[in-house]
Structure 1
Amino acid sequence: MIKTALQNYHARMQRVLDHIDRHLDDNLDLDTLSGVAALSKFHFHRQFTATFGVSLHRYVQLARMKRASYRLAYRDAQSVTEIAMEAGYDAPDAFARAFRQRFGNLPSSFRKAPDWEPWLAAFGPLNNARSKLMQTIFNTDDVTIRDVPSIPVAIMEHHGDPATIGTTIQRFIAWRKANGLSPKTNPTFNVFHSDPRTKWPTEYRMDLCVGMDRPIEAKGERIETGIIPGGRCAVLRVGGNTDNLEAAALYLYRDWLPASGEETRDFPLYCQRLVLFPEVPEHEAVAELFLPLK
């Protein structure tokens, strides 16, 4: 009974987080969100803070600011004023003050040269709420075994501190655009050559890849060509906060693989980014994690 009640409570809180993601442009007041949770508004804000370690108001602010910072870094077609309005600020200077207070620099400066380390620190409470306290529980039914084809890819390597990967992503997106490689027609992959928990930050390596259907130009970047080899793979689909795939990778290696009787092939764990935030609300982002098998 206690376990069932706790699961029901977590489901209510998950509905609230998903509603916030889906309605960042709407009025997310206490009455609305307590109604989504089907909990008393007189107690809901205290329950939210007790569950997630951050107030409801701050969580909403952080969620809006996270979307805004992604748009600053990765959507150069949108003006700072447009992004400020979408984040709920009436004027760009109010947005600039809040942004500088949170990240230590102005939105225009962040757009030109994002400093991702204070960004990661600022969003610690948000990421903790989404990926740890409300962590997805996987089971064997979530894993399928597929025969996947070989995929020719263009590769931009990130080698160094995982905290600075946002800068590499920004360069990768700009390079893709310059080559007319849309995510809708040319699939996006990440190949994980090392585990950030077991490597010194300077030794971490991850490849950002795009499927190729024609010759490409480096256009000033260090781009290599390669192949994600075909073969049997265990595939785990992950929805929601796909920035952090650690729990999914841990499930595949620690739980699924030993029980399956399968053996891994000599190629790293990789993922395909199917639906990307901020193109969709964060809880609608989708990635598939591939564990190559013999």
Structure 2
Amino acid sequence: MEEYKKRIVKTIQYIDHHIDADLSLEKISEISAYSPFHFHRIFKQVAGETLQNYIIRKKIEKSALYLALHKNMEIKEIYWNLGFSNHSAFCKTFKKHYGIPPSEFRKNAPEQFHKILQTHSKNGQVNTVFSQYICSIENPLNWTAMNLKIEVKELPEMNLAAVMSLGIANVEPSYNTLIEWAKKKHLFPRENVKMISVYHDSFKITPPDKVRIHACMLLDEKLEQQEGEVFSETIEAGKFIVGRGEVTLHNFEQCWVSLFLWMNENHYSIRKIFPFEIYHSNFKDHPEGKMIVDFCIPIH
């Protein structure tokens, strides 16, 4: 199973970096070094969905980001860049995924702080509705000021050892795998070890059971090659909004949403790398389940 996961991780990374390229079963199975027949079965076993479903979902989720964030981009340009042959095929696939056509999605998706909620109606159909992303906080900026110390700072390049988690429920097992690997390398436990979660998908557009999160550990030197499920990841140096707070797991969504609101209110824009969390303490060691966390957004 470990070898399966290692190859699937490599494959998923390739797909995400080449989402607009040739992603046929033959091409992808070649990357994984499995025959098409065996790869199709193994991918579904590890990822929880077929290769075709995964590729279509990633394309549609990327199109949703373009629709919400790039209002001047024509719908035709969006679906053409993602490999859809025509408007009808794209609209049908998009509506199947989100419940509404792309034009309505764009119309109802404000540029900031909304999320998609998928709820099942009485007849079993999925209805997609929009609501304020931070609806549970009456005054998010005031909440931010009370709970997070926010700085804009330069952070150095960070070399990480990472284990991929597909779905929020698999994050803890991924950290367990990472820690077991680190113990064998005598990298854990050690003083001031830093654990980091890197978000490769957005909860705004990806279901929690599909979102991709990398469970990571900060290293002094770059990991030269993949070792089982553990692979190398690098966070590029640059400017970041860093919001530090002592919070519970229940507060994480509030922290992220209010921090993105602060970013927009202060006229920053996000860079094309992934946001992440740095943990400075363990909530299991605190009587109230609190932990000190840096919530980091890469900005221009």
Q: State TM-score, norm by structure 2.
A: 0.47
Q: State TM-score, norm by structure 1.
A: 0.48
Bigger share in helix: 1
